[in-house]
Chain A
């Protein structure tokens, strides 16, 4: 009987101990390097299986004008807080240029007018934020693939990095500046566009004027706003945190397909 009793006590103690230490343990695990490694492998597994299913050209659903969200929530930076941006905005982005450089044979510097003269694509799609909300909007812009073809990629090109005008976190080294990156498969997807129009009007400042990325098969934080420069790279190891994006450097997945 005593033997049984002590077994029960041990088990009860064990169960409550597990409960109490679980919370602290999870927090500590979250910050440990080894567990971070496990989590990065999970991301690879998720990306690998989605890529198995996703064809190069599989399109995200396109909606009709009657499906548009009455109000499209603006998220992240609502208006970049720099003198340079204020000056550009003041002149209606007439002085703004999109730089395209890195592993390209023909670096480009494109004005908004030049971009608008290129063949455009218009699409009504659903924007899914990592936080959990969704909004449907209409976007008009240049397929990114066209720009990359104009710049002619060099061998070794693997990723397209988007450098933005907004600083989400004020830091001394500039690491708080927004940036994002996608691979060439997503870059050449037909719905991946550099949008200058939204819901039939010029792209509003709150949504990334004068130009933002749309990469429809991934979550909202990949859709970089306030584009200033496109850099083609073979690796993003040397950029800021080395994970390929502002939020990625802060623990979010680089592949945001889920």
Chain B
């Protein structure tokens, strides 16, 4: 299950030998991937519901309305019009319609994130928190399954750690330009992940998701008493809340690029490989 198996497709399908299929993703990787998709979606949307209860982010040991916010989303009256804004540091951007002020049916509501981005869609902090913690538990359990399997069966070391030949600056630069021209690996090169892929997956699995969990736990007054080093590590609870938000948006950014790459580099082949495990390698370009 954990070593890629090669088998030739029926000859009638394509010229013999030019297309091979391999088992790209093991069952555990596929399962944990889709559980993650579900968890991340619910956690993000219920997280935005929670954020809406106090759409201001601070840095330091305390932070409330009277204190300077580092990031804020809000609304203000401008003549007879309600204006939504997004503020980061000294920068203030008008975001009416999406952030701060949005439309709900015929009504205009003052909400940091609009109803269609939150769980539940209506304002209910208690329900949002319930969703958030249920799926946070699921994410953590899923993460442990993935990491235990990934370390035990060598998936992380074998498939995600860049190989020596992938680490030179020249090689990485070529990958960057190849990506920019939407030229994706073919044939034997498609058998492994490229180094940009490997580094972003490692960043997500070993840095960003654990950081989400840790900054999340740092907001717990109960766990602050047990682990006082947690708020110290992130520079205070309000800072941990800010980092929780910024890390979440780094993950959103990752998902956007990830899905874009999945679509551009062979959508059905990629999607199939994450569902059934089977990935087709096209050797037609190898001769060159």
State the A residues within 8 Å of B (CB).
8, 11, 22-23, 26-27, 30, 38-39, 42-43, 45-46, 50, 53-54, 58-61, 63, 67, 69-73, 126, 128-136, 216-219, 247, 250-253, 257-258
Contact B225 A54 (CB under 8 A): yes
Contact A42 B130 (CB under 8 A): yes
Partner of B222, one of A131, A133, A218: A218
Which B residues are CB-close (under 8 A) to A126?
61-62, 221, 237
What would 4 more interface pairs be, CB under 8 Å, given A134-B58, A134-B236?
A126-B61, A132-B51, A133-B63, A258-B222
* Cα A139 to Cα B37 with chains together (Å): 45
| Residue B211 at the chain A interface, CB threshold 8 Å | no
**Stretch of B114-122, B154-162, B171-179 lying at the A interface:** B114-122
Q: How far is the CB of A216 from chain B (nearest CB, A)?
A: 7
* Cα A88 to Cα B50 with chains together (Å): 37
Number of A-B residue pairs with CB-CB distance less than 8 Å in the complex they form: 141
Which B residues are CB-close (under 8 A) to A136?
61-62
Which B residues are CB-close (under 8 A) to A61?
224-225, 228, 231
Contact A69 B220 (CB under 8 A): no
| Residue B66 at the chain A interface, CB threshold 8 Å | yes
| Residue B54 at the chain A interface, CB threshold 8 Å | yes
Q: How far is the CB of A87 from chain B (nearest CB, A)?
A: 32
**Stretch of B131-139, B183-191, B202-210 lying at the A interface:** B131-139
* Cα A58 to Cα B217 with chains together (Å): 17
A30-B127, A131-B54, A132-B50 known; A69 vs B121 contact (CB < 8 Å)? no
| Residue B262 at the chain A interface, CB threshold 8 Å | no
State the B residues within 8 Å of A (CB).
41-42, 45, 50-51, 53-54, 56, 58, 61-67, 116, 119-122, 124-127, 129-131, 133-134, 137, 217, 219-226, 228, 231, 236-238, 241, 268, 271
Chain B residue, CB-CB nearest to A133: B64
Q: How far is the CB of B243 from chain A (nearest CB, A)?
A: 13
Partner of B121, one of A23, A50, A53: A23
Contact A69 B67 (CB under 8 A): yes
Q: How far is the CB of B150 from chain A (nearest CB, A)?
A: 24
Which B residues are CB-close (under 8 A) to A70?
66-67
Contact A73 B134 (CB under 8 A): no
* Cα A132 to Cα B219 with chains together (Å): 9
Q: How far is the CB of A126 from chain B (nearest CB, A)?
A: 7
What are the 4 closest A-B residue pairs judged by CB atoms, nearest first? A257-B222, A251-B126, A71-B66, A258-B220
Contact B116 A132 (CB under 8 A): no
What secondary structure prevails in chain A residues at the interface with B?
loop
* Cα A8 to Cα B41 with chains together (Å): 23
Which A residues are CB-close (under 8 A) to B133?
42-43, 46, 258
A251-B127, A253-B129 known; A73 vs B122 contact (CB < 8 Å)? no
Which A residues are CB-close (under 8 A) to B56?
133
12 contacting pairs across A/B (C-beta < 8 A): A26-B45, A50-B222, A50-B223, A61-B231, A69-B67, A131-B54, A131-B125, A217-B225, A218-B222, A250-B126, A257-B222, A258-B220
Contact B221 A60 (CB under 8 A): yes
Contact A67 B121 (CB under 8 A): no
Chain A residue, CB-CB nearest to B115: A23
Q: How far is the CB of A64 from chain B (nearest CB, A)?
A: 11
A8-B268, A63-B61, A247-B126 known; A132 vs B54 contact (CB < 8 Å)? yes
Partner of A252, one of B62, B65, B126: B126
Contact B130 A27 (CB under 8 A): no
* Cα A11 to Cα B268 with chains together (Å): 10
Which A residues are CB-close (under 8 A) to B119?
23, 26, 30
Q: Which residue among B116, B119, B225 has the maximum number of chain A CB atoms within 10 Å of its CB?
A: B225
Chain B residue, CB-CB nearest to A50: B222
Contact B225 A39 (CB under 8 A): no
Which B residues are CB-close (under 8 A) to A71?
64-67
* Cα A247 to Cα B217 with chains together (Å): 22
Which B residues are CB-close (under 8 A) to A59?
225
Contact A60 B120 (CB under 8 A): no
Q: How far is the CB of B287 from chain A (nearest CB, A)?
A: 27
Contact A257 B220 (CB under 8 A): yes
* Cα A220 to Cα B131 with chains together (Å): 20
Contact A130 B231 (CB under 8 A): no
Contact A53 B223 (CB under 8 A): yes
Partner of A23, one of B54, B58, B66, B116: B116
Which B residues are CB-close (under 8 A) to A250?
126
Which B residues are CB-close (under 8 A) to A73?
64-66
Contact A42 B134 (CB under 8 A): yes
Q: How far is the CB of A218 from chain B (nearest CB, A)?
A: 6
